[in-house]
Amino acid sequence: MAHERHFAQASFCGRERSMLRGDTTVQWQPVPARYCNMTAIVDPLSHDVLIRLRGVSKTYIGAGGRFGALSDFDLHIARGEFALVVGQSGSGKSTLLNLIAGIDRPSAGEIEVEGTPVHSLSERALSAWRGRAVGIVFQFFQLLPALTVAENVMLPMDFCRRWPLRERRPRALRLLERLGVADQADKLPGALSGGQQQRVAVARALANEPALLLADEPTGNLDSTNAAALLQLFGELVREGQTLVMVTHDRSAQAHATRTVELADGRLLRVLAPTQPVTIEGAGHA
Ligand code: ADP
Ligand code: MG
Predicted local distance difference test score (pLDDT) of residue 252: 87
Nearest ligand 1 atom to the CA of 70 is 10
Give, using CA atoms, the residue closest to atom 21 of ligand 1: 60
Between the CA of 101 and the centroid of ligand 2 the distance, in Å, is 14
Q: Which residues pair with 77 in a beta bridge?
A: 51
Between the CA of 63 and the centroid of ligand 1 the distance, in Å, is 14
Other beta carbons within 10 angstroms of residue 177's beta carbon come to 13
Predicted local distance difference test score (pLDDT) of residue 255: 86
Per-residue pLDDT of the chain (286 residues; tens, 9 = 90+): 444 334 333 322 322 222 222 333 333 444 433 333 333 334 444 468 999 999 999 999 988 899 999 999 999 999 999 999 999 999 999 999 999 999 999 999 999 999 999 999 999 999 999 999 999 999 999 999 999 999 999 999 999 999 999 999 999 999 999 999 999 999 999 999 999 999 999 999 999 999 999 999 999 999 999 999 999 999 999 999 999 999 999 888 988 899 999 999 999 999 987 643 433 333 333 3
Any idea what the Cα angle at residue 173 is, between residues 171 and 175, rounded to 5°? 70
The domain made up of 7-16+29-37+80-91+121-274 has a fold known as Rossmann fold (3.40.50)
Nearest ligand 1 atom to the CA of 87 is 3
Q: Which amino acid is at 158?
A: D
List the domain boundaries for the chain.
7-16+29-37+80-91+121-274
Question: For a pocket test of ligand 1, which of 1, 66, 67, 248 has the largest count of ligand atoms closer than 8 A to its C-beta?
Answer: 67
Between the CA of 141 and the centroid of ligand 2 the distance, in Å, is 14
DSSP letter for each residue of the chain:
-HHHHHGGG----------EE------EEEPPGGGTT-HHHH-SS-S-EEEEEEEEEEEEEETTEEEEEEEEEEEEEETT-EEEEE-STTSSHHHHHHHHTTSS--SEEEEEETTEEGGG--HHHHHHHHHHHEEEE-TT----TTS-HHHHHHHHHHHH--S-HHHHHHHHHHHHHHTT-GGGTTS-GGGS-HHHHHHHHHHHHTTT--SEEEEESTTTTS-HHHHHHHHHHHHHHHHTT-EEEEE---GGGGGT-SEEEEEETTEEEEEEEESSPPPEETSS--
Q: Which amino acid is at 244?
A: L
Between the CA of 215 and the centroid of ligand 2 the distance, in Å, is 10
Pocket around ligand 1 at a 6 A CB cut-off: 60, 62, 67, 69, 87, 89-95
